[in-house]
Amino acid sequence: MHLARFARIRLAHLPTPLEPLPRLSEELGLDLWIKRDDCTGLAGGGNKTRKLEFLLGAAVEAGADTLVTQGAVQSNHVRQTAAAAASHGLACDIILEERTGSKATDYVGNGNVLLDRLFGARLRTVPGGADMAAELEITAEAVRTRGGVPYVIPGGGSNAIGALGYADCARELVVQADDMDLAIDRIVTATGSAGTHAGLVAGLAVIGAYIPVLGIGVRAPKDRQEANVFKLAEETAALLGQPGRIARDRVVADCDYVGEGYGLIDQGVIDALTLAARLDGIVLDPVYSGKAMKGLIALARGGAFKGETVVFLHTGGAQGLFGYQTEIEGALR
């Protein structure tokens, strides 16, 4: 990969740490490591910062003065986009979808929403199930009407430009592992809007490091999630100059741990949050990394990773915990 060909604005604290999780490893019966993309720095960190380096670069190159994006009410992507815009003197217009239907005070006003406002983003809320592509264009047109130049970023920053951030992460991770003489058998991470998962798959393929990536789904059913990831991985590899590089069987998603739906948490998620926190001091989020850890724990206890060295890619999002305070406190054991 020669990523210097692409416009990029450095936002993240890189490389992020690659660390062992000794007590979780003992508990689950595998050699478990963690790639700390909760430590990317911007607005408290998270996986979207890597994507935003390329997306913000493209926006500035295009002469934009306003970033336009969307996400669920407690979106980590929205928080990091608002911070990226603020840090470079751009305006930020955001559409928040009431995807979970929650009207709880902490959900609609605390956590990521509070930070969105702190960063000066202009917020607009739409009902769950709204056509978000259409809503993005409505907002972009409003920016043009008031004399601005919008740059539209899809939900999660998940297009081929954004996925370059995780193609780069794949390279970074392999370099770190090689320096440690660590042979990785599998990478496990949350898969939602597809950019992180697709970027990893594309990056590993392009550099010839065919480490299996297991995405634990947080929203869509398996067939749709894998199709979305595969399409974006193909587009990312093509952008990197290697079209046709992605084999379909390299894209694997397990969507059995979504629970009642996106952003809806259950006792299994809270137990996963608690186990990671109390055994290795790791703070996960309730929507993405918490569900991914819920899946990893269940699979490990079922013998799925026996004898393997597994890297869990932490996508960040702990700021969203404060939007779920009532639910989590009531279910802690």
Give catalytic residue positions.
Answer: 75
- Residue 17 in tokens: 């740490």
Q: Is 314 helix (H, G, I), strand (E, B) or coil?
A: strand
Place of tokens 């305070």: 325
- What's the rounded Cα separation, in Å, for the pair 288 and 218? 6
Name residues whose C-beta falls within 8 Å of residue 8's C-beta, 6 or more positions apart in sequence. 53, 54, 57
Taking a C-beta distance cutoff of 8 angstroms, is the pair 65, 149 a contact? Answer: yes
- What's the rounded Cα separation, in Å, for the pair 317 and 319? 5
Q: Alpha helices, DSSP H only, in the chain?
A: 22-28, 48-61, 76-87, 105-109, 112-118, 132-145, 160-179, 195-207, 222-239, 267-280, 289-301, 325-329
